[in-house]
Amino acid sequence: MKIAIETQWSTAEIYLQGAHITRFEKKGDAPLLFLSGESEFIKGKPIRGGVPIIFPWFGGREGFPAHGLARTSEWDLEETSLLATGVVTLRFRLPTIDPLDADFVVHVGDQLTMELIVKNAGAQEATFETCFHTYFQIGEIYSISIKGLTGCSYYDKVLGGVFTETQESIHIMNEVDRVYFDTTAAVEIIDTQLRRKILVTKSGSNSTVVWNPWIEKSQRMPDFGDEEYLQMVCVESGNVANDRITLAPDSKANLKVEVSSEPLL
């Protein structure tokens, strides 16, 4: 099932499978989120694009689905409200992944605000990873630059190894799959073709992942168009690998990400 939301500033669509936002579009602007034309929308298969919620693990795990169980699980819609400001808020709950309870709260307005609140309902410490795997729509990969990660250490999954980001502005010219560690900084995507700047601000997050599959990986992915790497980039906010979270019994972790855009002057 899909929920459609309209506010005075924007429209959005969210599937109950994965509590997965597939669309956020400000009126008069190009969509902010990329959604693949090849995405399959089959029960139990991840949707390709939008904002997959990655939880309770990031990446592969032997014998289990990649990127955790949350993105292919049916979430329950627990609450909807229209605030006096005109912002629409929805709260979803994931059936317990023992011992973790997860709520996803989304605020749709002039910007998109997402919160993942995880509680350890068990009697022992629990460790897990979280990530909003946000796919952004861009004019063309050659006309964007990504700012905010200078000086950060990252694990490069393509080259293998840990490096330090030396660029002020990151330009993507090949396959990029990097996990930046220990960074709470906001990230900007400057798009000179769509003439806009996307701003991703976050709290409760120490990792930022930047991903573009480029040509060969795009061809290998059955639910992604061969040329679609040109129109998207993932800038993901969460807590993965060494930044994973350990929670004491009865305590909570809150990952919050705000996505906004403004025209480039």
What letter represents residue 69's amino acid? L
Q: Other C-beta atoms within 10 Å of 83: how many? A: 11
- Angle at CA of residue 100, ends 71 and 238, nearest 5°: 55
Residue with CB nearest ligand BG6?
66
Which residue, 55, 53, 11, 5, is CA-closest to 30? 11
Closest approach of Cβ 211 to ligand BG6, in Å? 4
Residue 258: CA atoms inside 13 Å, Cβ hemisphere, count? 11
Choose, by CB under 6 A, the member of 209, 233, 235, 257 that binds ligand BG6: 209
Nearer to ligand BG6, 33 or 209 (CB): 209
Nearer to ligand BG6, 93 or 217 (CB): 217
Closest approach of Cβ 79 to ligand BG6, in Å? 28
Nearer to ligand BG6, 24 or 211 (CB): 211
Task: Say how far apart CA 191 and CA 195 lie, in whole Å.
Answer: 6
Q: Is 132 in the site for ligand BG6 (CB under 6 A)?
A: no
Q: By CB under 6 A, what part of segment 70-129 binds ligand BG6?
A: none
Strand partners, 177: 211
Beta strands across the sheet bearing 252-263: 76-82, 88-97, 100-108, 112-120, 252-263, 196-203, 187-191, 144-147, 169-170
Closest approach of Cβ 52 to ligand BG6, in Å? 7
CB 114 within 8 A of CB 54: no
Q: How many residues bind ligand BG6 (CB under 6 A)?
A: 9
- Extract the tokens encoding 17: 């499978």
Task: Say how far apart CA 27 and CA 105 lie, in whole Å.
Answer: 22
Choose, by CB under 6 A, the member of 157, 197, 244, 256 that binds ligand BG6: 157
Closest approach of Cβ 217 to ligand BG6, in Å? 7
Nearer to ligand BG6, 82 or 241 (CB): 241
Choose, by CB under 6 A, the member of 20, 23, 67, 91 that binds ligand BG6: 67
CB 235 within 8 A of CB 92: no
Choose, by CB under 6 A, the member of 236, 237, 257, 261 that binds ligand BG6: 236
Choose, by CB under 6 A, the member of 55, 75, 132, 211 that binds ligand BG6: 211
Nearer to ligand BG6, 75 or 132 (CB): 132
Task: Say how far apart CA 30 and CA 24 lie, in whole Å.
Answer: 9
Q: Is 177 in the site for ligand BG6 (CB under 6 A)?
A: yes
Which residue, 190, 200, 195, is CA-closest to 258? 200
The residues of the shown chain that bind ligand BG6, judged by CB under 6 A, are 46, 66-67, 133, 157, 177, 209, 211, 236
